[in-house]
Every structure is written in C-alpha cells, then in structure tokens.
C-alpha cells in the first residue's frame, strides 16, 4: 500500500511538471568524479500548488510518512548514493533542509522537520560522510503553508531536501 501511495505521489509530481526532464542522479562514486559538479539550487520559492509539486526534485529528497521520522529502504538507498558522492568529492557539502506539510501547529512542524534532518544527518554520518560536509536547516511549513493544500501535494512536503554547494 505504501509503495502504491509513493508511486502515485511520484506520478502526480511528474505529471504536474509537464514535459520537464527529471533531474540527473548524483554521479557514481568514483575517484575520477569531477569536483566541479554544479550546486543543486531550487529556483524562486514556489507560490502555487503545481509549482510546489514541480519544484520537488525526487533524487534530492528523502520522504517521510505523516508524523514519522523513520527513513524507509528507498530513502536509505538514496542517502547511500549521496554519501558515496560526498565521500568521492570532499570539497562538496550538502545542506539538509527539513520540510513538513501544513497540518498541525508551527511548533510541531518545526520540531518534526528538525528531527527528520537529524535522522538524515545521522544516516549520512553512518555511511561515512564527514561532518564538515553536512549542514542542517529547517524550512518547516513556512514556504508551502498556503500553496500546498491537496492530498497530492502534502506527501511531497514531508521530506528532507539535500542542496549541494562547495565547501568554503
């Protein structure tokens, strides 16, 4: 049931994106991986539900069930690939940004987003990523409070987003 629900969410997101191409996955973890991989930065904050759905890049997000902080097998596999990328490219870092849907109080949403970020951080550390390559942040529900109201959109907001940049 969970797999069908997740597949439905992915299909809705892809359908809403129109003809846009899917983002390329992180490069394979090899010693020859280029260190000049461009940072993954989202455009301006989305303002409509369709824009919110289209802006979620599946390969750069770990999704959660409502109220949960547990990473499923799909999320662990994704984080393992990102860990390999980071270990192969020591000059890259990733900011973990916690998002939540617009249900519940602001305090609950921020706390849940922070917990999810901590879980993802701990898994990346477990996979061997240096702590100096990891940053933590929480967006909570502030950016999507009014734009994301449907059952198709809300599951996409229960996530930790990975944004790449260069270490300074």
List, in order of start, the domains of the chain with CATH numbers. 2-20+37-166 (3.30.1330.60)
pLDDT at 141: 60
Report how far residue 50's alpha carbon sits from residue 35's, in angstroms, rounded to the nearest whole number.
34
pLDDT at 144: 57
pLDDT at 124: 98
pLDDT at 82: 98
pLDDT at 35: 33
What is the layout of strands, in order, in the sheet containing 61-63?
Answer: 61-63, 159-166, 92-99, 134-140
pLDDT at 63: 97
pLDDT per position in the chain (168 positions), as tens?
444 344 434 433 433 333 333 334 444 443 333 333 333 334 444 468 888 889 899 999 999 999 999 999 999 999 999 999 999 999 999 999 999 888 888 888 889 999 999 999 999 999 999 999 999 987 756 555 667 888 888 899 999 999 999 987
């Amino acid at each position: 049931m969970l797999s069908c629900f997740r597949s439905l969410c992915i299909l809705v997101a892809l359908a809403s994106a129109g003809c846009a191409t899917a983002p390329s996955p992180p490069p394979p973890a090899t010693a020859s991986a280029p260190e000049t991989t461009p940072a993954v930065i989202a455009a301006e904050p989305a303002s409509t539900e369709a824009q919110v759905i289209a802006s979620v890049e599946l390969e750069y997000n770990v999704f959660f069930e409502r109220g949960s902080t547990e990473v499923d097998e799909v999320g662990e596999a994704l984080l393992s690939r990102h860990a390999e990328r980071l270990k192969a490219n020591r000059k890259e870092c990733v900011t973990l940004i916690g998002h939540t849907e617009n249900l519940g109080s602001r305090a609950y949403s921020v706390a849940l987003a922070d917990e999810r970020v901590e879980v993802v951080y701990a898994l990346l550390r477990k996979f061997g990523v240096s702590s100096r390559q990891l940053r933590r942040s929480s967006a909570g529900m502030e950016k999507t409070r009014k734009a994301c109201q449907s059952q198709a959109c809300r599951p996409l907001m229960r996530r930790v987003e990975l944004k790449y940049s260069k270490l300074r």
